[in-house]
Amino acid sequence: MNEIRYSRDENVDAVLRTELLKRESKLIVWKIGDPGAPPPKGTLDPEILIWCEENGFILVTNNRKTMPKHLKDHLAKGRHIPAIFQLNPKMSIGKTANELVAIWGASEITEYQDVIIYLPLR
């Protein structure tokens, strides 16, 4: 069973989850605000990184401005994170879903640890 699980931040279009699950029903795709995840309002990005670390989720986000600094600070505290995948605003939802499903199918959870990956990989 694949260990890769995705958590979308609250600003990522909900259609992405639908498209991911159409392509691969075994995917686990949560969003910030789902039961068991941090609430969407008032949760700071550093807290989201801690939650992703503790729960083994790759964060899928379109936050290109502040997330690199938050990750740097997170790592400086001796913490880790499975990964952060930064969405490309020029990619369609369909292409983004295809990319995330391909990563899920061909990767191990440890391959992207502690880095920000800018989609697409190729």
Name the residue ranges covered by the structural domains of the chain.
6-118
DSSP code, position 109? G
Query: Helices H, strands E: what count in the chain?
Result: 4, 5
pLDDT of res. 57: 97
Residue 10: burial class (beta carbons within 10 Å; 0-12, 13-18, 19+)? middle
If DSSP codes are grouped into helix, strand and coil, which group holds residue 100?
helix
User: CA-CA distance, 21 to 23, in Å (whole number)?
Assistant: 5
Note if the bond before 38 is cis, omega within 30 degrees. no
Tens-level pLDDT at each residue, the chain (122 residues): 568 999 999 889 999 999 999 999 999 999 999 999 999 888 999 999 999 999 999 999 998 899 999 999 999 999 999 999 999 999 999 999 999 999 999 999 999 999 999 999 87
